[in-house]
C-alpha cells in the first residue's frame, strides 16, 4: 500500500486509517460530523496527495487536450483552471479532472486517485496522434507531488500568514505559483471540493513535512484541524458535487450527469464522443442525475432503488448521507426524465420500506 508525505502525521494524530485507491489514508480523526462542522465553520486540512498529476506540454498540447477532454481548453489563459472530463468513446466518462493552464504550451491535469493508471493509459492511447510522447511531452508526476487542501471560511486568512502574495484577491478557479512557508514555486489554487471556500497547495514530496508544520502553525489561532475522507464525502455531497465511481463512471455520459456545462460543442473543437453527446443533448436521454431530500425520516445509501408512488422502480441512488448541516437525509440518483423537476415526489426503498423524498436543486447546503 502506498503512503503520502503526510501519512505518519495522520497515524501519530490517531486517525482511523483505511485503504483508499491504493493508499493508506485517514477516513476520520475525531468523527465525521465534528470534522464536517470544522470545515464549514472554521478551517480544516485534507491530505489529497493521492490525487494524480499529469503534465501535457509542447506546441500540440492544446490540440491534444481539446480532443481528450469535453470542455473548451482554448478559453483558458495562464493561471486559470477548468473543470472537465475525459469521455471514454463509448458514451461514458473515463474520469473527471481539473485542467491548470501554466502557459500556452504547458498544462497540469489533476485526476482522481483511483483512476491514475486508467487515465494515463487513455492519454497515452491518443497522445501519438498529436505528437506527444509519453514520458516526455506527456508526463505522469503523480508520485512526485503532495497536496494539501485547506478548506473553510478561515482558510485563506490563515494561509496569508505564510506568503507575501495577496491571496485574498484570487478568484475562484485560478492559481498562482508562489513562495509559501519558505517553499519556492508551490502551486496555490482556489478550487475546492467542499463548497466552504479555501485553497489547495501542491509541493514536491520532499517539501511535505515543511508545508504540514507551517500550515498547522499558521492555522492554530483559527482552530485548524486535520480532516479525513469521511467528512470530505459529506461536504461534497451537500454541495451536489459528483464523485467518480458513484455519480459518474464509465457507464454515465456527461449529459446524463448534468455536466452539459462542461461539454462544449464549438465548431473549432472536436472531442471523443462529440457526436454521441451532441445527439443526447438534442434528442434527450433516458435518465438524469438529480438531487433529493428525504421527507420521511431515513438515510439514503448508494444502490438503494428509487420508486414512484406505486412502487415501480424509476432509478437508483448513487450517493446518500445524513446531512450534518441540514440534519436530514440527502442524496443523488439517476431517475427517468419525467421525475427530474424540482419538487417532484419520489420514494426511496430503504430496506424494503418506501420512504418519501422530493427532488431538489443542488447545492443542498448553501453555507
Q: Which three cell numbers stand for residue 208?
A: 511535505
Is residue 218's pLDDT more than 70?
yes
Share of the chain above pLDDT 70, in %: 100
HSE-up of residue 288 (Cα within 13 Å, Cβ side)? 20
Is residue 365's pLDDT more than 90?
no
d(CA 133, CA 139) in angstroms, rounded, equals 9
- How many angstroms from the chain centroid is the CA of residue 226? 19
d(CA 177, CA 1) in angstroms, rounded, equals 31
Between 3.30.160.100, 3.30.420.40, 3.40.50.2000, 3.30.70.1400, what CATH number should domain 52-140 receive? 3.30.70.1400
User: What top-level class would CATH report for the domain 7-51+144-238?
Assistant: alpha beta
Contact 324, 36 (CB under 8 A): yes
User: What top-level class would CATH report for the domain 286-367?
Assistant: mainly beta
Residues pairing with 277 in the sheet = none
Model pTM above 0.85: yes
* Upstream peptide bond of 363 is cis (omega within 30 degrees of 0): yes
Is residue 367's pLDDT more than 80?
no
Boundaries of every domain in the chain? 7-51+144-238, 52-140, 286-367
d(CA 112, CA 236) in angstroms, rounded, equals 14
Helices (H) and strands (E) in the chain, counts: 8, 19
What is the mean predicted confidence (pLDDT) over 82-101? 98
Amino acid at each position: 500500500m502506498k503512503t503520502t508525505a503526510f501519512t505518519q502525521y495522520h497515524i501519530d494524530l490517531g486517525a482511523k486509517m483505511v485503504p483508499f485507491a491504493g493508499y493508506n489514508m485517514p477516513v476520520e480523526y475525531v468523527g465525521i460530523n465534528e470534522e464536517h462542522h470544522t470545515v464549514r465553520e472554521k478551517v480544516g486540512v485534507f491530505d489529497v496527495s493521492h490525487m494524480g498529476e499529469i503534465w501535457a506540454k509542447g506546441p500540440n498540447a492544446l490540440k491534444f487536450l481539446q480532443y481528450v477532454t469535453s470542455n473548451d481548453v482554448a478559453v483558458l489563459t495562464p493561471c486559470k483552471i477548468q473543470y472537465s472530463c475525459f469521455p471514454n468513446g463509448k458514451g461514458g466518462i473515463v474520469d473527471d479532472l481539473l485542467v491548470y493552464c501554466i502557459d500556452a504550451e504547458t498544462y497540469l491535469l489533476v485526476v482522481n486517485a483511483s483512476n491514475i493508471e486508467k487515465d494515463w493509459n487513455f492519454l497515452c492511447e491518443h497522445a501519438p496522434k498529436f505528437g506527444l510522447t509519453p514520458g516526455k511531452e506527456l508526463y505522469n508526476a503523480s508520485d512526485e507531488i503532495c497536496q494539501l487542501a485547506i478548506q473553510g471560511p478561515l482558510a485563506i486568512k490563515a494561509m496569508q500568514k505564510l506568503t507575501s502574495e495577496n491571496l485574498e484577491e484570487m478568484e475562484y478557479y485560478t492559481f498562482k505559483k508562489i513562495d509559501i512557508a519558505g517553499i519556492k514555486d508551490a502551486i496555490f489554487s482556489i478550487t475546492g471540493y467542499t463548497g466552504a471556500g479555501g485553497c489547495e497547495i501542491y509541493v514536491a514530496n520532499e517539501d511535505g513535512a515543511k508545508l504540514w508544520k507551517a500550515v498547522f502553525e499558521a492555522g492554530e489561532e483559527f482552530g485548524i484541524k486535520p480532516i479525513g475522507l469521511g467528512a470530505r464525502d459529506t461536504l461534497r455531497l451537500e454541495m451536489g458535487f459528483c464523485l467518480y465511481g458513484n455519480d459518474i463512471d464509465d457507464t454515465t455520459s456527461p449529459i446524463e450527469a448534468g455536466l452539459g456545462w462542461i461539454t462544449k460543442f464549438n465548431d473549432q473543437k472536436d472531442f471523443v464522443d462529440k457526436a454521441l453527446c451532441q445527439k443526447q443533448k438534442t434528442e434527450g436521454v433516458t435518465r438524469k442525475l438529480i438531487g433529493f431530500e428525504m421527507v420521511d425520516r431515513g438515510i439514503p445509501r448508494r444502490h438503494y432503488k428509487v420508486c414512484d408512488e406505486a412502487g415501480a422502480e424509476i432509478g437508483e441512488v448513487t450517493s446518500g448521507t445524513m446531512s450534518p448541516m441540514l440534519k436530514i437525509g440527502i442524496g443523488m440518483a439517476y431517475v427517468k426524465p419525467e421525475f427530474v423537476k424540482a419538487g417532484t415526489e419520489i420514494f426511496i426503498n430503504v430496506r424494503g420500506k418506501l420512504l418519501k423524498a422530493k427532488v431538489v436543486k443542488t447545492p443542498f447546503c448553501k453555507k
